[in-house]
Amino acid sequence: MKQKSACAVVVGVGAKRGIGAACCRRFAAEGMAVVVVGRSPHKIDAVAAELRADGATAMAVACDVTRPGDVERLFVAVDDAGWRPALLVYNVGNNVVKPFLKLTPEDIETTWRQCALGGFMVAQGAIPRMLEADAPSTMVFTGATASLRARPPFSAFAAAKAAERALAQSLAREYGPEGIHVAHVIIDGIVDGEQVDRAFKGAGRALRLAKGKNGTLQPDSVADTYWQVHQQPADAWVHELDLRPAAESF
């Protein structure tokens, strides 16, 4: 049987200026084939096309991680390409900003499905393929400040990200001894990307400027850290780390 080639699967890629796209570029720069995964075909197609224009091997797969059929099709596409996931980043999760009494059951369910259920299904698709390879593999979950501390008006988001963190812990304990490095990275601060512009309805640039020098996280810097995690030797793995700008209070 032909040995499958290692690839990086980045789940939760949106705009070109964001953590997901930055990870795709970083991993491609290291010579990895990259699977660009997200809900918006035009966005992931643009990222994949950019990678290929730079000489990388990349394909885009549209996937809603809350739908089991989509997740199954994602990994079938990876199999059909003759690849195996050696590095997977789960970078999914949209915030819901509402006072507690304004939240609906749908708000709670939607955020939970994106963070926890989606992470569960993607991990179930990736882990058997990682184990079959009999080679070290890495799975990185993008967490948030809310993964550790819940505060208003982020109750729904905090509950979902805390569940995702618990999932990552469980996977690390079960599959670390089998060669899968599972890491949970807490993003503690504002990421200087397009998502903040959408979240603050056009005021994102002003907010970034107000933060000053070293006041926001740069997506490329986050991607560099993810790659460093992937490179760690098995005798010194990190499970959880937090990233924040130097000027961020904590």
**Tokens 């955020």 — which residue?**
111
Contacts of 88 (CB under 8 A, 6+ apart): 8, 9, 10, 11, 122, 126, 137, 138, 139, 140
Question: How much is the pLDDT for 179?
Answer: 97
Q: Average the pLDDT over 83-96 and give the result.
A: 94
Greater pLDDT, 4 or 140: 140
* Amino acid at residue number 207: L
pLDDT digits (tens, 9 = 90+) for 102-156: 999 999 999 999 999 999 999 999 999 999 988 899 999 999 999 999 989 999 9
pTM over 0.85: yes
Q: Which residues pair with 210 in a beta bridge?
A: none
Select from 29, 30, 93, 28 the least CA-distant residue to 60. Answer: 28
Number of H helices, E strands in the chain: 9, 7
Indicate if the pLDDT at residue 187 is higher than 90.
Answer: yes
Domains of the chain: 5-232 (3.40.50.720)
- Can you tell me the distance from the alpha carbon of 222 to that of 244, in angstroms, rounded to the nearest whole number? 10
pLDDT band at 94; cut points 50, 70, 90: confident
